[in-house]
Amino acid sequence: MHQIKVHGLFLDYDGTISPIDVLREKSRVPAETEEVLKQIKHTIPVGIITTKDLPFIYPRTPFASAWSAVAGLETRIGDTAIKTPELSSHISYLSLALKYAKNLSDEYLLIEEKHYSTGQTIAFCVDWRYSPDSGESEARALKIMDKCTTLPLKVATYEGKPYFDVFPCAIDKGKALLEVKRNLDLQSGLMYLGDSITDNSALRVADIGIGVSNKVSLEKLECDYYLEFEKVAGFLKRLYKNSLMFDENFPEIVLNPERRKK
């Protein structure tokens, strides 16, 4: 691939277009990145594929026209919300695990519930990144993880990161991306930016997969190119000024020597 026209831009949120090491309530897309995304949305669809829930992500991404929240468990295209039918059988187990997790939580071992837009809890995150005693908090977090693995739930861990997610069923960002693609009637030219191994399935199905570096190893990212978090806004500006024609010679990106053949 040398040049390709981008017809749809899809983005992970945490660590990709927003800083990863900030408190939940302070999480925002940097102004420079938000501004260029607002410009791009007038030309092509911009979508968010994230493990965050819709009530959290929707107000923070006014430049998007499509959202796949909780990695596909709830999708919103414009004003239409679509729930996955796979949840009902395991929600009771999720509630059991959440109760156990809350009993072990404190101000440093945080439990972030993920909700449907209707308010129902459909997943949760266990996070100890701000603990002054990470060893003690991690030990309690691992007890929660052990409990979750005894139930018919899915635990998603992230190498080198002090948090994990618990879902009622398997998640697949690639499947979520293809569902949004179908709803938007896009045929080709999909670009996806992500920063963790949960993004790999989306990076694989995208026509252009870009791994974003945010001080975490990218060795396991199945991307075509690498891009530093600090250069995301500059890269998007260059793409927009180039009439959304992607060029692998853009100076902000680095070719992944192990990239898959298209």
Give the model's pLDDT for residue 5: 97
**Residue where a domain stops, chosen among 149, 167, 185:** 167
**CATH for 65:** 3.40.50.1000
Residues 111 and 128 in one domain: yes
249 and 196: one domain? yes
pLDDT per position as a tens digit, 114-128: 999 889 999 999 999
Domain of residue 142, residue span = 88-167
Say if residue 254 is exposed, middle or buried (CB neighbours under 10 Å; 0-12, 13-18, 19+).
middle
In this prediction, residues 135-146 reach a mean pLDDT of 96
Amino acid sitting at position 126: V
User: How, if at all, do strands 163-167 and 121-127 pair?
Assistant: antiparallel
44 contact partners, CB below 8 Å, separation of at least 6: 6, 7, 8, 9, 244
Looking at the fold, whether 13 and 141 belong to one and the same domain comes out as: no
Residue pair 168/123 in contact (Cβ under 8 Å)? The answer is yes
| Res 80: pLDDT | 81
The C-alpha angle with vertex 198 and arms to 13 and 29, in degrees rounded to 5, equals: 5
- 136 with 36, same domain: the answer is no
> H helices within the chain, ranges in order?
31-40, 54-57, 91-104, 134-149, 173-183, 200-205, 232-241
CA atoms 6, 33, 223, 13: torsion sign: negative
Determine the average pLDDT of the residues in 13-35: 93
Please state the domain count of the chain.
2
Domain boundary among 105, 137, 167: 167
Chain segment 59-102, per-residue pLDDT in tens: 999 999 999 999 999 999 988 877 776 666 788 999 999 999 99
Task: Tell me which of 119, 145, 167 is where a domain ends.
Answer: 167
222 assigned to some structural domain: yes
pTM of the model: 0.90
Does any domain span residue 146? yes
Show the tokens assigned to 13.
């949120």
- Whether residue 118 is found in the same domain as residue 11: no
